Structure 1
Amino acid sequence: MRRIAILTSGGDAPGMNAAIRALTRKAIHEGFEIFGIERGYLGIIEEKIFPLSNRDVGGIITQGGTMLKTARFPEFQNEEIQRKAYDILKTYDIDHLVVIGGDGSMRGATSLSKLGMSTMTIPCTIDNDMGGTQYTIGYDTALNTVVDAVGRIRDTSNSHERVAIVEVMGRKAGHIALKAGLACGAEIVLVPENPMPLHAVCRHLKETQIRGKEYSVILVAEGAYNSGEVKAFIKEHTEFDPSLTVLGYLQRGGGPSAFDAILAARMSEVCINLLMSGVANRLVGYIDGHIRALSYEEAERLEFPIDEKDYRLLSILSS
C-alpha cells in the first residue's frame, strides 16, 4: 500500500484539524495508509511518526489548533537536517508528505522535494500572506474573531468617549487589519504596506473630534507599528488617552468558520486526487473561487498583496 504522512508546521491556525481529518479520510478511502507526524519538521527528526485511522480524526473538525501539534524548527534550513529528514521518511516507507502551514512550511516542503521526496502543501495561516493563493485556511476565522472583538471594544469606547487602539496579527501583511477595519468601521487602520505617519493619525483624530465624533477605533497590524508606541505618541500629541488591547493568540484559537472548514475539505480532496494522478510538489491554492495546484516556484512568484481599493474605501468611509 502507498503511504502518506501529514504534518502541521509553523503557527497554528483554525482549520488545521479540519484539513487533517479530510486528508486522512480521503486518503484511506482511496486505499492509502496514512501517518501523522507530531510537532512539524522537528517531529520527523524525532521520529514522532504514527499511523492514523478514521476514528483517530473523529470529532476534530470543529476544534481549533492541531491534533498533530506544531513547532517552529529553523534548523530545518540546514541541508544536513533536510537530508536526515528525507532518510527517516524513507525508512518509514513514506511515499508522499503533505505539509499544512504557511510560507516557511512550504519552503521546507520545497527543500524535501529537491531531494526526491514527493510533497504537497496546503496553505494554512491566519495572516493570509502566502504566495500562490488568495485565501489561506484560518484567515476567515481569524478575521471574524477580530471583528467580533472590535465590536465589543467599540461599545466600551463609545460609552466612555475614548480612542481605542487594537493590535492584530500581521507581521508582513495587513490583510487582517484592513479587512477587519472595513467590516467593523474602524476609523484608522495601520498596516505594514502603507505606513501612516503618526502625526497624520493625530491630525485625523482631532479632525473627527471637531466634526462631532466622540470615539474612534484604530486597528494596528503588529508589523506596522509597536502599538504601545502608537498609544504613547497619541497621548503626548493630543488630548486623548487611548486604551490599548492586544488580541494576540485570541486570533489563532477556536474552531474554524464554515468557510475555512469547507476550504480545508476541498483543498484536501484536490491534494489526494493530484497524488493519485502522479502530480506532486505543488501548493494547493485558492484563486478566483477555484482550487488550483501551482508548482512551488510559481507559487513563490504569484503574490496577492492587500487591495489598495479597499484601503482607499476605508479612508472614505471613516471620515
Structure 2
Amino acid sequence: MANHRRKRASIISMDRHVLTRVTAVIASLAVLAGVGLASRGLYQTSTPEAKPITSYSATDPDAVAASRGETRDLLGKRGANANTTYITVKVNGKSRTILGTNFTDVKSVLDQGDITLDPNDTVSPSLTTKVSESTVITIERAGTQVETAEKKIPYNVVKKKTDALPAGQEKVQTEGKDGIVETTSLVTRSAGKVVSSNVFTSYVKKDPVNKVILVGTGIASAPSQSTGSSNGASDAAADLGTTVPAGEMQEWAHKYLLDNGYSEADFTATVFIVTHESGWQVNATNPYSGAYGLPQALPGSKMVSAGADWATNYQTQLKWFWSYCNQRYGSIQNAYAYWVANKTY
C-alpha cells in the first residue's frame, strides 16, 4: 500500500496565499477561544422542535486540535486547497468560519454559510462590502438569550474474539459509558414562552466509552495481517471486533456495508471515526475549519459528489465518507488506523 500521509508543511516553505490563510486561521482561533461548533443554517428562524445538533470531539487535546482545523487545514485534508478562503462570522459574540472559493462581498459569504438574516439584525460591514480573509462579519441579533443544555450520546457494544476464554464464553472487558453533547442555543421568548430556538454551538463534551465484551474461541488466533495503513500504524486495525449497531443511522450503515461486500471490521471502523468526528450529528459544523456533517468533510459541499442532498441526508454523507476513505487511504480500516495515530484522517 502506498504511503498517503502528507508531510507537515513548514511556514518557511509555504507560498504567500497559504501563509495568508494560515495567519487568518490562527488569528481567528484567538477570538474563537471557548467556542464550540456552529450549526449549518443556524440563524434561520425555527420552531422549538427543530433543534439540529453539531459536534466535535473534545475529550483530549490532540482530538480538539484536529477537529478545530489546526492540522487538517494546513495539510489540505477533506477537500480544502490553496484556493479555499476562510471568512469569520460572529453572531452575538459567537463565531464560526465560512469556507468558499468565490467570495465577493459580505452577502456572498452569508449565502454560502446558509446564514439567513432576521429583519432586525444589524450587520457590519454592509452586505455589499468586498471581503478578504482579514474580514470579520459581525451580526447583532436583539431579543435573544444564550442557553446551554446537555444531551446523551449512547455508547456502542463491541464484541472481540479471544482464545483466552473457552469457546462461547463471554466476559465484559470494559463497561460502557454514555457520552455527552453540550449544546448552546439562541432562544427567543415572548410572554415566557419560547418563540424560536436555534442551535448555535454544540460539541462532544465527553466521548462515549464502548462496552467491550470478550467472546471465547478456545483456539489459538492466527497471526494478524498488516493493514498497510498510510501512517504505519497497521496494528491499530488488527482486531476491531464486531460492533452492535445503535440507532437508525448505524443500522442502515451496517446493512449497507455488509450488502456491498464490506466487513464487520469496516463497520466498526466507521462507527469509531464518525463518533469521534461528529457524534453522529448530520449537521455538525466546525467553526474553525468549516468542516461539515457526519464525516466532517472540508468543505461540506464536497459531498455533493455523493448526492445533492448532502447537507441533510446521512446516507449521502456516509457514502461520501466511505468513498473518501477508500480513495485516500485504500480502505476504511486504513483510515481508522490513521485516525488512531493522528486524531484526524
Higher strand share: 2
Q: TM-score, normalised by structure 2?
A: 0.22
Higher helix share: 1
